[in-house]
Amino acid sequence: MRRANALGLPLVIAFFISLIAICLMAPAASGAEVVGNPELIRYEGSGGLVLPPSVDRGTRNEVAECRGCSWKITSACVPDADNYCDAAIRGCPGLIDHVRTWFRPAGGQWRETGLICLSSQTITTVVGIEDLISENFYQYVPELEPTCWPESGPVVHIPLLCGSGQTAGTQKWSENVSRFAIEITAKPQWAWNFEREFLTVELPGGPYPDMSVTHTYKTSGTKRVMVETRWRGSFRVDGLGPFPIERDLRQVKGFEVEIGQARARLMRPNA
């Protein structure tokens, strides 16, 4: 009897060890912010993410307009999950990959925003598009070509008229980025620097009778004139937005004007 009890104790210990091992091997309860292995994350970042039209418009707006949010793009196939690599992943043709997108508002929880087809092109973000606009806007807006009048013979005490060589009003142009249609709208403002006097106007200026940009010098000599065109605008991405262009879009150019000394000459009336 004593021998049987002695043999039973190791069996009990072995049973509990096996039970603990089974519990450790069991999958954890579903409570993770993002389902799946972190190694399956393809891309992650913060700020607005531009999702394709296959996602519903409300979600696209929310994700694109959120500057303080986080997002992740993971593999569509999640190991150890139910329906691993289900039929949905067959929706992308050819070499285009099928991925899952995740979105987390500032201070919020992760949630899946859907399955999308991802090509080899770079992920498109609102900030990335803004950077692209800032780098390339010079090729779309009118060139800054300032001139002052009279082109020869300006003198002291007589107003000098100047112009930027550009046009007033809102400018619009379009671009395609990673299969997304981008529409940009911008409006110019001009800042003139006549050495000691500054002038900011909403009109481009021009020769007489345009008097929107004028300056009168009191001394003669070579004068340095600077003009800066400041563009303020916004853009849309596939109808989403508008999103403000927060970066400064500026064109600057300087040139010299020779101001002569006026001479008075007495004349007889009716001469």
pLDDT in tens, 155-185: 999 999 999 999 999 999 998 876 789 999 9
- Cα–Cα distance for residue pair 171/233, rounded to 1 Å: 9
Residues 104 and 211 in one domain: no
Outline where the chain has alpha helix (H).
2-25, 57-65, 126-136
pLDDT band at 40 (very low <50, low <70, confident <90, very high): confident
Indicate if 40 and 102 belong to the same structural domain: yes
Q: Is 0.75 topped by the overall pTM?
A: no
Average pLDDT (257-261) is 92
Query: What average pLDDT does the chain have?
Result: 79
Whether 30 shows a pLDDT value over 50: the answer reads: no
Say if residue 131 is in the same domain as residue 115. Answer: no
Residues 111, 135: one domain?
no
**Do 160 and 222 reside in the same domain of the chain?**
yes
Where among 105, 123, 141 does a domain terminate?
Answer: 123
Instruction: Give the model's confidence band at 2: pLDDT under 50 very low, under 70 low, under 90 confident, else very high.
Output: very low
Check whether residue 117 and residue 135 sit in a common domain.
no
* Structure-model confidence comparison of residues 223 and 74, the more confident one: 223
For residues 190 and 226, is the Cβ–Cβ distance under 8 A? no
Q: In the listed set 123, 138, 168, which residue is the last one of a domain according to the structure?
A: 123
**Residue percentage of the chain with pLDDT more than 70:** 74
Distance from C-alpha of 196 to C-alpha of 190, rounded to nearest angstrom: 17
Q: Is 167 helix (H, G, I), strand (E, B) or coil?
A: coil
Confidence of residue 107 (pLDDT cuts 50, 70, 90): confident
For the stretch 50-73, pLDDT in tens is 988 888 899 999 999 987 889 998
Show the domain range for 211.
Answer: 126-259
Q: Which of 98, 123, 148 is the last residue of a domain?
A: 123
Q: Is 196 helix (H, G, I), strand (E, B) or coil?
A: coil
Task: Classify each residue of 119-149 as buried b or exposed e, where b means 16 or more C-beta atoms within 10 Å of its C-beta.
Answer: eeeebbbbbbbbebbeeebeeebeebebbbb
